[in-house]
Chains A and B, each alone.
Chain A
Amino acid sequence: MSDNLLLECDVLVLGAGPGGYSAAFRAADLGMKVILVERYPTLGGVCLNVGCIPSKALLHVAGVTEEAQALAAHGVSFGAPQIDLDKLRGWKTQVVSKLTGGLAMMAKGRKVTVVQGNARFIDPHHMEVTLTDGKNQAIQFAKAIIAAGSQAVKLPFMPDDPRVVDSTGALELPQMPERMLVIGGGIIGLEMATVYSTLGAKIDVVEMMDGLMAGADRDLVKVWEKKNAKRFNKIMLKTKTVAAEARPDGVYVSFTGEQAPAAPERYDLVLVAVGRRPNGQHIGAELAGVAVDERGFIAVDRQQRTNVPHIYAIGDIVGQPMLAHKAVHEGHVAAEAAEGRRSFMDARQIPSVAYTDPEVAWAGVTEDEARAQGLRYGKAVFPWAASGRAIANGRDEGFTKLLFDEETHRVIGGGIVGTHAGDLISEICLAIEMGCEAGDIGKTIHPHPTLGESIGMAAELYEGVCTDLPPKNK
């Protein structure tokens, strides 16, 4: 079975994404002997290698480029950007390798053994890894944490063609397309659309649902839509992609639905970003007795335990939302539970951020959810048009919204649309976890002039003590 000597450990962590490495490092810090199994040569998973981080490197470039161009309106003009795709790729790669290199160092520092290869369970206490040299390595574990993540959903009718990519392919910047189609109007698709449009592509977005950026309140999305109206050639809602044909001059894609064009459209690059599927079916879970549902998810309890008590699962593979920061916290809970601690996943909120321009971020209960659940909630919206800093930035289109429990005045949710919304949302996350009331936030002195002030002012507004807005008409 095993070509090499059997390896043994207290905890085996399958998958070295943010959830996996966090679990492995936490377990090691708790004194357990840890083996981290990863199929790719670098640690960090999708997030660091082909997800969150490289996309942010490119979005940073796109953002600064657009900001520079926007300065023309304020009297400072630059020439048209000269884009060196190779160099841009290099910058992105450098960012990624700096982080993954750091992870490798930290694994070493913690004496976490990293085994590279494709792994599957062979029984409830053994895993077999096909190493890069083709040999098989058996690993015996007392406990295991499954952090095997997810992969992009493929559309069966899309041709196998280098011009049809998923998010990983799009991040490689294979070419500078003239016309690009983004299938799926979720966060990933819109972030990539932001990058490519800045680089000069003419972009169409097709989405089956009746709106973009599902999950966010519509009032937030509307601000983004208005600001980005010119970014897109067209946005086709309630429209389905039904066929595609690769021809020498481009990929021809056909649509049906409300806003579908009659004839197939030609694109130089097609990004398929219609969601992610968990990898539950590819790890031999059944041989360990771990139950995996038909979609590939693994059900866990509040301590991240699967139906097999000594095997835990975390991250994308246990369910939505498929977000790195959720996985990290689950990883810590799983590692601590595996060590015998009474750790539970007791978070009240998991924030979401679209790193578009402007950014859209939300946490806790959304207004749509509050309405659907019939919660008695109150709302305060502070428009950035009243924020000195936003105006000075030339970006006052956004707003900050807080939702409160009407009875206790505790903050239960919030949403921000505007530049740096993703950085600003953390204060709302903390407020929700701490059970802060509007007064707690309003009476906290925020530095002036900042975008963060808008959160304090929204809270003041709720309590009727905001002096940065016109008086209410009585």
Chain B
Amino acid sequence: MAIEVKVPDIGDFTNIPVIEVLVKVGDTVRAEDALVTLESDKATMEVPAPSAGVVKELKVKLGDKVSEGSVILILEAHDEAAKPATAAVAASPATHSAPAASASTAPPIVPTTPTTAQLDVAETAVPNQPGRAAINPTNPPIAPVDQESFVMAHASPVIRQFARELGVDLSKVKGSAPKGRILREDVQAFVKSVLQSAASAPGGAAAGIGLGLLPWPQVDFAKYGPIEALPLSRIKKMSGANLHRNWVMIPHVTNNDDADITELESFRLQLNQENAKSGVKVTLLAFLIKAVCNALKKFPELNASLDGDNLILKHYYNIGFAADTPNGLVVPVIKDADKKGVMQIAAEASAFAAKARDGKLGPADMTGGTFSISSLGGIGGTYFTPIINAPEVAILGVCRSTIRPVWRDNAFVPRLVAPLSLSYDHRVIDGASAARFNTYLVGLLADMRRATL
């Protein structure tokens, strides 16, 4: 039975590109085998085979834009009882990483942004003519120019040369002269538009800024001992690009403080005892989320985003938290956390964590955050600098709580202390506000009754 495999419900996304086609016509696939990979601005998603079968016909190719319901391929199913061809989509989040969450609502930098796709920026070697071997020089091409189309583009030899000098793929340039002839001005305008779009798109900003940095050091590591090259995972590569942008573009300042959570911890243990039967375990994170919501309401500029000359204040409190999974770090978002009780937050967080471990988090689970928390409490450390998850403006890092001597009433007393590190965007938040936020948060955690005030 031939079945059409369609793009399943992928959340709020339409026209998202196919970034990998994992099968070809004639391939035999098992049920749940990945067929294609889609990439939204939040995550990459693999569309699995609804049943075992043989790929009869591919309906999409690399770079095609698809939406829910788009036909991906025709599958000749082995299994007569094949389910309807809309399968659940398995998403592996694309843009998150530790220690800072780095989810983004902007397209991640991948080698399909205009900068690299249309400007042949690399010194590339390309086949000269049919029958000649393609040579791979020191730098492999980033975005190979379609050589055949380049030569046949409606442009004179000197314009072809001009395009080569600028690394422009002429086959992508629209000519403005009669009948689409490409002029020098068209090549210039093309370069300008590519650079501008790269600069204005948050994802490609680095290209427009021109930091004028030294080239990356070239070291022959093998010279000094045995080495091994491990390719970065897709998630790593994409989250890396996001982190890099956020680090470079946001003036980070980190404010460290200590929260006395002795009382909170005993309350937490007590709660867990009471709820032992229901199975819901309250974590420190759930309290942190609750307390952060409370603090954000008092300091709204931390629950905000920069938009040109405007600061967008958000009247909703969606708190993302970094979760470690085998596939990399993900940041599921607890929606409207301010309206939820600690028990509910704890239950949701633990459900998200389980989903994340199974790689089942969907894009909707990871979008819409207004503030992030990165907790290393289970691991260790004292303080660190979390990287802000743009376009959010602040992130709270938490390290392991320890018993410390605290000077109280003329004596040192042992108290359980949680180290907090708040990184904030100094363009939006000044040092005093951040310190006030931290102090307020520390006060809440010391006595959660204040959260009800």
User: Which residues does A use to contact B, with CB under 8 Å?
Assistant: 291, 299-307, 309, 318-319, 341-348, 408, 410, 433-435, 437
Contacts and interface: CB of A to CB of B under 8 A. Distances in A.
Contact of A318 (B132, B136, B161): B132
B161 A302 contact: no
Given A346-B150, A433-B156, A435-B155, A305 B161 contact: no
Given A341-B165, A433-B157, A307 B152 contact: no
B138 interface: yes
A302 B125 contact: yes
B156 A303 contact: no
B160 A346 contact: yes
A301 B134 contact: yes
B140 to A, nearest CB: 12
Nearest to B128: A302
What's the interface size class on B, roughly? 20 to 34
A346 B138 contact: no
B147 A302 contact: yes
Interface in B95-121: none
Contact of B156 (A344, A345, A435, A437): A435
B157 A302 contact: no
B138 A309 contact: yes
A343 B126 contact: no
B449 to A, nearest CB: 69
Contacts of A434: 156-157
Main secondary structure of the interface of B (DSSP, over half): loop
B164 A435 contact: no
Nearest to A320: B131
Nearest to B125: A301
Interface in B348-387: none
Secondary structure call for the A interface: loop
A408 B209 CA distance: 42
B164 A346 contact: yes
B232 interface: no
21 contacts: A299-B132, A300-B132, A301-B125, A301-B127, A301-B132, A301-B134, A301-B137, A302-B125, A302-B127, A302-B147, A303-B125, A309-B138, A319-B129, A341-B165, A342-B164, A342-B167, A343-B164, A346-B164, A347-B157, A348-B151, A437-B179
Contacts of B136: 307
A345 to B, nearest CB: 6
B411 interface: no
B164 A344 contact: yes
A319 B132 contact: yes
**Ordered nearest first, which 7 A-B pairs have the shortest CB separation?**
A299-B133, A301-B125, A309-B137, A302-B128, A301-B135, A346-B160, A342-B164
B165 A342 contact: yes
Contacts, number: 68
Contacts of B157: 346-347, 433-434
A190 B165 CA distance: 42
Interface in B2-27: none
B245 interface: no
A299 B155 CA distance: 28
A341 B123 CA distance: 10
B181 interface: yes
A379 B181 CA distance: 23
Nearest to B135: A301
A165 B167 CA distance: 49
Nearest to A302: B128
A302 B137 contact: no
Contacts of B127: 301-302
Given A301-B137, A302-B128, A305-B125, 16 more contacts: A299-B133, A300-B132, A301-B135, A302-B126, A302-B127, A304-B128, A319-B129, A342-B165, A342-B167, A343-B161, A344-B161, A345-B128, A346-B151, A347-B157, A408-B179, A434-B157
Contact of A300 (B135, B161, B181): B135
B154 interface: yes
Interface in B160-206: 160-161, 164-165, 167, 179, 181
Contacts of B160: 344, 346
